[in-house]
Amino acid sequence: MKPVKNRSRQEIDNRYKWNIEAMYPEESRWEQDFEEVSGLISLYPSFSGTLSQSGEALLAAYQKKDEIWLILERMYVYSRMKKDEDNRLEQYQNMNDRCSSLVARAASALSFFTPELLEIRPEQIHEFYEQCPGLETYRFAIESAFREKAHILTPAEENIMAQYSEITGATNNVFSMLNNADMRFDEITDENGEKVELTHGRFIGFMESKDQRVRKEAFEAMYAPYKAQINTLAALYNYNTKTDVVQARLRNYPSSLDAALSGDNINPEVYFNLVDTVNRNLDSLMRYVQIRKKLLGLDELHMYDVYVPLFDVPRKSVSYEEGVQLMKKGLEALGPDYLEKMEQGVKQGWVDVYENEGKTSGAYSFGSYDSMPYILMNYSDKLKDVFTLAHEMGHSMHSLYTRESQPFIYGGHSIFTAEVASTVNEALMMKQMIADEKDALTKKYLLNLYIEEFRSTVFRQTMFAEFELLTHLAVERGEALTSDFLCREYLALVRKYFGPDVVLDDEIKYEWARIPHFYNAFYVYKYATGFSAAAAISRKILEEGQTARDAYIDFLRSGESNYPIELLKIAGVDMSRPEPIDEAMKIFSGLIDELEALI
């Protein structure tokens, strides 16, 4: 039989591609921006020594800094997204690399700013606010800088750190190229007896196959190249983690965890509370594993059996167009303004829908302050893809509301808050679909899907968070992250989380090696906290109606105008306390109870 191959990008209809050309209708404009921002970077050091002269001088320096980063952000987003369309294209590899170098140059040229700002007496800063009303826009940014004063180095040291930023990000870039461009997987035989090329985008689909042979074959094929490259991958992650630890020490943080959480003003206790609370509720996960083993009728439950739906998929195929309509219906609780903006975004070309050769795997929302909020998908006509679309649309709508309301300096989002916006969408869709469903089989399928969202987002991401913590602590103790150490420790965590009812095949110990988020330190815990916050917010929206919805939209508009914990209080959730995690665990246990009652 002829193998099923991944499509080239040229074979995909343009209506399923994002309208990235809106950013640069002519790529020559990207080169013009490159020259313009190069000039601005060269001139920016002339602001050095002027910041304390007056409020107007400080405001001018802030505004010029924003102008530089606004252009650089646009350039980087475009070059990165063009590369993500097909990672094999040298033109966009080169463009993205040049942009990264320019970002490093800008960071170096602007590196004097924060140390010089922090030399100004606080009383003088307050006088500047009175003298120059325009500076009020930057009050929160200024206060945040002074909060971090103990971790800001001298101007000369900051310049060195900035110049090295391009190098310190190398491990992430090398992993991305290895994982997305160079890694090749064997073909497997699907349920129909056809040879199919395994890809990142198709892997989960194979893991959901009803045929255990297909699941096992895909599982083994996925991990074979990681096993073959395990020493290289261990070296990459080792040096990535060492970079985190060294940079934390250079900036006088107690640990790499403190350094990673400091920018968001998050107390490390939030991290520890998450891990501790989830660990105290692992019996619920193990109870679900036992149900899974029973319903699948397996003598042995393997790790390649944990993704297959327990019930037949009610709809074998959901086209992208159908998926968009399901998403709109599921998000009606967010109101007409939200739905109208979302529908316009789909029509205007926010979404790059289907997988193609060389395309970056997974899904994300991205964009610059002055562009559309773009969405990368690898849509495969599954119902789960609709939830992924809603998730990324939550990010994009968050960006849209923020950029309509906030100046550039507050126009982004902490991941801590961003993951709430995405997961509220998923939670609302799921609750609406379960409530409306009359068919018993479909209801069980949706309940199982929601349970899986909890498992993969709260339990799995917390397991990842534990792994990151133990690897960083090991490096801080002076230990090396060898492949043996990483595989052994990861396997121990999988055993702890899934319990004795799962057979741990040898391949699972290599799973850490394919997780791209590990190259962004202490990132994944925010998925779990975000999911927990979203569970509380979505419940409030459905129970309280417009009042809760308006408060939530106000949260979406807030951007980075305050610290994440304070921003979430706008939507009625206090993540500095353990209650939202406890509530999420109770919801998970309740869903299992509900599922057991139906089977």
All structural domains of the chain: 13-168 (1.20.140.70)
Beta strands 502-503 and 301-302: pairing type?
Answer: parallel
On average, the pLDDT of the chain sits at 94
For residue 330, what is the enclosing H or E element?
A: helix 320-330
d(CA 106, CA 83): 22
- Asked if 260 and 522 touch (Cβ cutoff 8 Å), the reply is yes
The dihedral formed by the CA atoms of 32, 33, 39 and 45, expressed in degrees to the nearest 10: 180
Q: What per-residue confidence (pLDDT) applies to 2? A: 43
What pLDDT was estimated at residue 198? 93
Report how far residue 509's alpha carbon sits from residue 503's, in angstroms, rounded to the nearest whole number.
12
DSSP 120-177: S-HHHHHHHHHH-GGGGGGHHHHHHHHHTGGG---HHHHHHHHHHHHHHTHHHHHHHH
Tell me, what DSSP letter sits at residue 264?
T
- Helix (H) or strand (E) holding 188, with range, is strand 187-189
Which one from 392, 452, 466, 468 is the annotated catalytic residue? 392
CB 77 within 8 A of CB 365: no
pLDDT at position 315: 67
Question: Is 392 an annotated catalytic residue?
Answer: yes
User: Letter for the amino acid at 561?
Assistant: S
User: What is the predicted pLDDT for the residue at 1?
Assistant: 38
Reading phi first (left if > 0) and then psi (alpha if -120 to 50, else beta), residue 235 is in alpha
| pLDDT, position 5 | 62
Residues of the chain short of pLDDT 50, as ranges, are 1-3
